[in-house]
Amino acid sequence: MMGLTEAEWMAVWLSLRVALGVALITAVPAILLGWLLARRNFRGKIMLESLIHAPLVMPPVVTGYLLLILFGRNGWIGGPLMDWFGIRLVFTWQGAVLASAIVALPLAVRSVRLAVSLVDERLEEAARTLGYPPLRVFFRVTLPLAWPGILGGILLAFSRSLGEFGATITFAGNVEGMTQTLPLAIYSALQVPGEEPVAMRLVICSLILCFASLLLSEWLTRRAKKRMES
């Protein structure tokens, strides 16, 4: 692809790996939180909504710094993880997944919440009157009817993670071959005089991946919607 070097290919594959990881680990929390916000009223709901959506308005560097405080080697969570289980997230590709997931989760939650809110509650009530327990109502009625929007939210999180920069570089660092995703590789190339062609190749590659993921998201969402309608 456009004569990419081995290091550039590594950045591409790492970006896809991180994006796939983000899609996988945000799917369940996004579905549960989206359903909770759409179907339940409870004390502290506004606070929970604000907490979920905070990464959308906070500078990504602030998000990365807070992750360092929580999951760093001496962090409140990172310290016990390292001491008890030998798990280190900071400056690893898994840390890049975590940072990107925190930034992308609000988008997935918003999509799921909208999809669930559009499901007619009378259908859920009818299922309950037929003796369905709440969990079965969720899996047999709510989830299938909201699936196109849920799928769109998951794929939106995937697409968003392809462009994540600030939180990733702050928490996971910019280590070539380990945590250097496409945005970080572009940034590194722009810091070196004469590396503009490298930056341009990576920019083109990034645009291709982003547009391809968005087109795939739209296609899969429409396909799922047509299958539900049929």
Q: What is the pLDDT of residues 51-66, one digit of tens each?
A: 999 999 999 999 999 9
Note whether residue 145 is domain-resident.
Answer: yes
Sorted by sequence, the CB contacts under 8 Å of residue 11 that are 6+ apart come out as: 176, 180, 181, 182, 184, 185, 202
Q: What's the pLDDT band for 224 if we cut at 50, 70, 90?
A: confident
Average pLDDT over residues 82-97: 92
Which of 62, 164, 145, 192 lies closest to 107, judged by CA? 164
CATH number for position 54: 1.10.3720.10
Note whether residue 1 is domain-resident.
Answer: no
116-173 pLDDT, tens digit per residue, is: 998 989 999 999 998 889 899 999 999 999 998 899 899 999 999 999 999 999 999 9
Count structural domains, the chain.
1
C-alpha 158: how far from its chain's center?
A: 5
8 A C-beta contact, residue 107 and residue 145 = no
Note whether residue 178 is domain-resident.
Answer: yes
For residue 74, pLDDT over 90 is answered with no
25-53 pLDDT, tens digit per residue, is: 999 999 999 999 999 999 999 999 999 99
Q: What's the pLDDT band for 226 if we cut at 50, 70, 90?
A: confident
Note whether residue 27 is domain-resident.
Answer: yes
**Token couple for 60:** 């990504």
Which of 16, 230, 31 lies closest to 111, judged by CA? 31
172-218 pLDDT, tens digit per residue, is: 999 888 999 999 999 999 998 988 899 999 999 999 998 888 888 88
Q: What's the pLDDT band for 225 if we cut at 50, 70, 90?
A: confident
Note whether residue 224 is domain-resident.
Answer: yes
Predicted local confidence at residue 73, as pLDDT: 86
Residue 64, CA distances (Å) to 59, 68, 131, 162 in order? 9, 6, 47, 16
Predicted local confidence at residue 5, as pLDDT: 86
Note whether residue 128 is domain-resident.
Answer: yes
Average pLDDT over residues 14-27: 95
- Say if pTM beats, i.e. exceeds, 0.85: yes
Predicted local confidence at residue 66, as pLDDT: 95
Residue 116, CA distances (Å) to 38, 76, 155, 195 in order? 6, 35, 17, 48
Distance CA 38, CA 156 (A): 19
Q: What percent of the chain has pLDDT over 90?
A: 69
For residue 228, pLDDT over 70 is answered with no
8 A C-beta contact, residue 153 and residue 107 = yes
Note whether residue 185 is domain-resident.
Answer: yes
Which of 164, 51, 173, 181 lies closest to 104, judged by CA? 164
User: For the chain, what is the mean pLDDT?
Assistant: 91
Note whether residue 40 is domain-resident.
Answer: yes
For residue 1, pLDDT over 70 is answered with no
Residue range(s) defining the domain that contains residue 140: 6-229
Which of 59, 30, 57 lies closest to 147, judged by CA? 30
